[in-house]
Structure 1
């Protein structure tokens, strides 16, 4: 049974989420502000956090940052803020997904399920799976070896670093800023042309159809994702 922590200061919305989640056999805890959310997360260890950003005592971005200091629990932001910059800020802080209010309950539940699946996949990749196999290519992260249809593919150190970050976050959107800071450093957070060049190179080497990528997927204006 999945334990969900709902963090929102709108009692009616919290009640609606509790009813719908419990009807689908989830355990539900709730918190009306960031302070109590952090205490509940530490005490109850939720499997997923549904987090509003407009909290009365602290911004939801700060809650994400504090949670990420000690937990990898999936965080699905549920917020009325809808600009791309605000979404990117939340994702850069460590959120796994973002849905804007108002939303359909079916979409929220689908995203919640996706967050849970991606987290289990990421745990497996991070802890034990160092070899990633697809229909098109095989990546051995430990040996730094890539093969496509039995032929070894040579990747540069930068290509390896970029690919490894995406694989370690399999199924999750990694923002452009996050990738640039991780691979090139903090001073390169606006150099999106670097990503375009290196992603194009990786796609040419690994994708069956680089113009229609299946594995190295772009979310326009936001970032990239590794799918299998």
Structure 2
């Protein structure tokens, strides 16, 4: 009787420090991952297209093409998880990385065990939210339509180009438009209740979502800030 063997998870490690690449690769391989590596931006994109990784560990300060540009290009053809690494503690670097589609970040020096733990947590949570238990699959907020099953947001009839995380946040709010969600509740819904890290991650993705919807944070129509709580859906006016 044939037995089915589970395929190893695929990880791509991108950094121009050979010692760090070898260290992270060793930890991931020890945990059962199949690992590819790259040491500059163009090589990372080539490896991602060929290898189709489920998660990418991506350094911000890469030669030839930096991590932000790699992540931006990666999001054009891949829905993999991305953990951004930065050698600088400047908050701007972290927020810029997250705004182009990174899911999480770590500041160097970091513990390889913590990195592997975060990777495993990411891979346990689904990339897509389950279909809503309702016959109304399109939620409307003024000129904004959120197609919950089709996973599409349309503004004035034109489709908005949202990342998976951005759409999942919007869908969470749209399914319960009268509920004010805390950041922790949004993290639990979109990233999973075993996610650990800075809950300001939500603010970064909300800010990027608002920009794509043309929503003014000072007078938002679609995603409202509830002071002292978090966020809720707006009526669209």
1:105-158 deviations in Å (ceiling 9; x for gaps): 22211211222233xx223x2xxx3316xxxxxx776153xxxxxxxxxx9558
The corresponding residue for 1:180 is 210
The corresponding residue for 1:225 is none
Q: 1:84-95 maps to which residues of 2 (within 5 A)?
A: 84-95=91-102
The corresponding residue for 1:15 is 22
CA RMSD of aligned residues (A): 3.3
For the pair 1:130 / 2:107, whether they are aligned, the reply is: no
Change (3 A) 1:90 1:167: same
Contact 1:159 1:198 in 2 (8 A): no
Contact 1:88 1:175 in 2 (8 A): no
Contact 1:158 1:183 in 2 (8 A): no
**Moved runs in structure 1, 4+ residues, more than 2 A?**
155-165, 172-177, 182-185, 191-195
TM normalised by structure 2 equals: 0.64
TM normalised by structure 1 equals: 0.67
One of 166, 169, 176 as aligned partner of 2:169:
166
- Shift in Å, 1:42: 0.7
Higher helix share: 1
The corresponding residue for 2:176 is none
Q: Give me the whole-angstrom Cα distance separating, in 2, the residues matched to 1:212 and 1:158.
A: 26
The corresponding residue for 1:111 is 118
Contact 1:8 1:55 in 2 (8 A): yes
- Shift in Å, 1:160: 8.1
Q: How many residues align?
A: 180
Paired residue secondary structure (1:20): helix
The corresponding residue for 1:198 is 224
Contact 2:86 2:94 in 1 (8 A): no
Structure 1 unaligned spans of 5+: 133-138, 145-154, 202-210, 218-228
